[in-house]
Amino acid sequence: MNRKVSVAPMMDCTDRHERFFLRLISKNTLLYTEMIVDEAINRGDKKRLLEFNINEKPVALQLGGSSPKLLAEATKVGEDFGYDEINLNLGCPSKKVEKNKFGACLMKEPNLVADCLSKMQAITKLPVTIKTRIGYDDVEDYENLHDFISTLKKTGVKTFIIHARKAMLGKFTPKQNLNIPPLKYEYVYKLKEDFPDEDIIINGGVTSVEQIKSLLQKTDGVMIGRAAYHTPYLLADIEKEIFNNEDVLSRQDVIEQLIPYVKDELKKGTRLNQIMRHTLGLFHGQSGASYWKRYLSKNMCVRDADIKKIDHIMDKIKYNNVDASVGHSA
């Protein structure tokens, strides 16, 4: 699987509608689901939680949990639904996640994590990967991170996605944890030096193609997060400059190809705002971008949005100076 560039799992962001939209922009970027808790999959509505459009592939399922048994069961369900990879969340720092004993707090229990990973790998032929932080609270020395990865490596896991910030458990909000702890890319570079046979993917603070190119000199892959959500056409630049694929859609063509999907989803009961909210940043940096955001916010990103508005969206693009041409994301 090509993990050169991927989009991070993000709660309330990387749902199936967002992934379908992003796949229209980039054919090669690896996409991830939001984190889904193992128990929710095993006891809940599997179809509602896991069903996705085949056009989203390649797509990885991220799981949250700390029970080897429940994680193994959820892994098998994910495989049966057609996902390409199963990822274990060892990086989320929120209080809710810590209370339920999954996410970054599991860095405190490497042997438990190793047991989980062993059970998950035993039940599937899919690659099982992990996403974690460089440390937590006052535990932020490189040696601890090295030992943690070394323990997990013994289970057979080959791909390690590292958010290059530590997690402040229970002290910062999730938003603060994305900004306040300093980035330490050098920790991730050192991991690649110490584990040359493993795939080391770097995450955190990535906002441009030039930055991606630089990071790829020292790691096996780059995972982008908020930049992919707020400036999604960045993926077109990535497609051209990282994957050497010039066959990318213009912004206008992205919307035109999204419309049939939207109409099909509306027939299934999906609300218009559930899909279109993901497109707010499509025209970021282009003339008319502010109009696009205002129009969506007023007409399509409200709970009771009129579905008839979708039929006029292309006219709104064409006649309100919204630059929809192929170009850099700016």
The catalytic site residues sit at 92
Q: Tell whether omega for the bond before 181 is within 30 degrees of 0, i.e. cis.
A: no
Residue-wise DSSP of 150-204: HHHHTTT--EEEEESS-B-TTTS-HHHHTTSSPP-HHHHHHHHHH-TTSEEEEES
10 Cβ neighbours under 8 A, 6+ residues apart: 34, 225, 226, 229
φ/ψ bin of 175: left (φ > 0), alpha (ψ from -120 to 50), beta (otherwise): alpha
60 Cβ neighbours under 8 A, 6+ residues apart: 6, 30, 31, 32, 33, 83, 84, 85, 86, 87, 129
Nearest to 106 by CA among 152, 72, 61: 152
Nearest to 254 by CA among 235, 227, 274: 235
CB 222 within 8 A of CB 202: yes
129 three-state secondary structure: strand
